[in-house]
Amino acid sequence: MSFLEGLLWLTLNIYHEARSEPQIGQLAVAHVTLNRAAQKNKSVEEVVTAPHQFSWTFQKNSYLPTEPGAFMDCLQTAMKAMTTSDFTKGATFYHRNDIQPKWAGDMTYVAQYGVHKFYRN
Q: What is the mean pLDDT of residues 65-92?
A: 96
- For the segment 6-23, what is each residue's pLDDT rounded down to a tens digit? 999 999 999 999 999 999
Parallel, antiparallel or unpaired: strands 93-96 and 116-120: antiparallel
Residues of the chain with pLDDT > 70: what percent?
98
Q: Is residue 2 pLDDT above 80, yes or no?
A: yes
Q: Is residue 113 part of a domain?
A: no
Q: Is residue 67 part of a domain?
A: yes
| pTM listed for this prediction | 0.94
Helix (H, G, I), strand (E, B) or coil at 60: coil
What sign for the dihedral angle of Cα 69, 97, 37, 62? Answer: negative
Measure the CA–CA gap between 111 and 46, rounded to whole angstroms. 26
Q: Is residue 23 part of a domain?
A: yes
Q: What is the mean pLDDT of residues 40-52?
A: 95
Amino acid 1: pLDDT = 57
Q: Is residue 109 part of a domain?
A: no
Q: Is residue 103 part of a domain?
A: no
Look up the domain containing 26 and give its range.
3-88
Q: Is residue 60 part of a domain?
A: yes
Q: Is residue 100 part of a domain?
A: no
Q: Is residue 29 part of a domain?
A: yes
The total domain count for the chain is: 1
Amino acid 70: pLDDT = 97
